[in-house]
Amino acid sequence: AFLFPLRVCAYRIKPRGDPNPVLAGAMGKPPTKHSSEGENNSVKYAASSMQGIAAEMEDAHTIILQENGISESFFGVYDGHGGAEVALYCSRQFHIELRYHPSYRNNLPAAMKGACSRIDAKLKQSDDWRTNAYPPGTRKLIKHLSSGVRAVKWPWKTPYLGPLQEGSTACVTVVRDNQIIVGNIGDTRCVLSMGGEGQVDEVCDITTDHKPHDEAEEKRIVLAGGKVYKDEFPNAALKDLGIYRINGKLHISRAIGYFEFKQSKTLDDSQQMVTSNLDTFVVKKNDSMEFLLTASRGIWSIMTSQ
């Protein structure tokens, strides 16, 4: 029995490999893990993130619990690629864009789609988002310590193009009254565990991963001038481990950012090789629901939904 009708869990792990302490020590950086939990009158959540041996933690998450009797909460997991900046920006801005969308109260799925498109548009308009990627007081330190140039403001006189090879997934959930509304772009997955006392547990995927080799996704990619390649391994026994990538580079077909794959001037956003078109799903809460789990690819690359 659960005291709350729904538990929401958010997990994100970097890197994709084994966060073995011995291996991490050999790499000169111990694995780090941060966990939190909380609750309000309608949900109870737990969240955990682990960097592992990666040089940089590129994921981010946001949890907002409404109080004062308001039955609404927001959860977001963002898996960054090519750097952490886009994911961090999404974690600080997505829920704000969502809240101020005209359809927020009456049509939340439409508001989620609009917020995602708005975030993508802001990335392309200027690099002001880089300033807003990090919490106040940390940016100067990060810029000083970073050996890369990703966090530097756009210094050239040529037109600003947006983050060409940086981007992020987004899997956001709003629990409102008796509904669970989920929006997804990329391969950060949301699953629901059904069961309860005296019942057989059942796990169902709420979201669908956006992969380049999916029929509809690949058709759009090809029409936009791209190609889908699968990683090749010299060992035949490893051939099934190959990952499908757009132009041999990107392993997801929808994302925020990645403007290298959104360059066609004759196509709108929904027709580009990589699109920011977010899918939405609405589920009604019931007593058979045990918990909702949202996790980045670091989990799903080594575990099934079950």
Q: What is the mean pLDDT of residues 167-195?
A: 93
* 8 A C-beta contact, residue 174 and residue 162: no
Q: Is the pLDDT of residue 55 over 90?
A: no
Quick: pLDDT tens for 69-84: 567 899 999 999 888 8
Q: What is the mean pLDDT of residues 255-276?
A: 95
Q: What is the mean pLDDT of the chain?
A: 80
pLDDT at position 41, please? 79
Q: Which residue has the higher pLDDT, 17 or 76?
A: 76
Cis peptide before 19 (omega within 30 of 0): no
pLDDT at position 194, please? 84
Look at the pTM and tell me if it is higher than 0.75: yes
Per the DSSP assignment, residues forming a β-bridge with 279 are 184
**Residue 230 phi/psi, 5° resolution?**
-110, 140
Query: Residues near 102 by Cβ (< 8 Å), separated by ≥ 6?
Result: 111
pLDDT at position 299, please? 78
Report all structural domains of the chain as residue ranges with CATH numbers, in order of start. Answer: 6-209+278-300 (3.60.40)
The residue assigned the tokens 């509904």 is 179
**Residue 192 phi/psi, 5° resolution?**
-125, 130
Q: In 48-175, which ranges are continuous DSSP H helix?
A: 85-99, 108-125, 128-131, 139-145
The DSSP output letter for 104 is: T
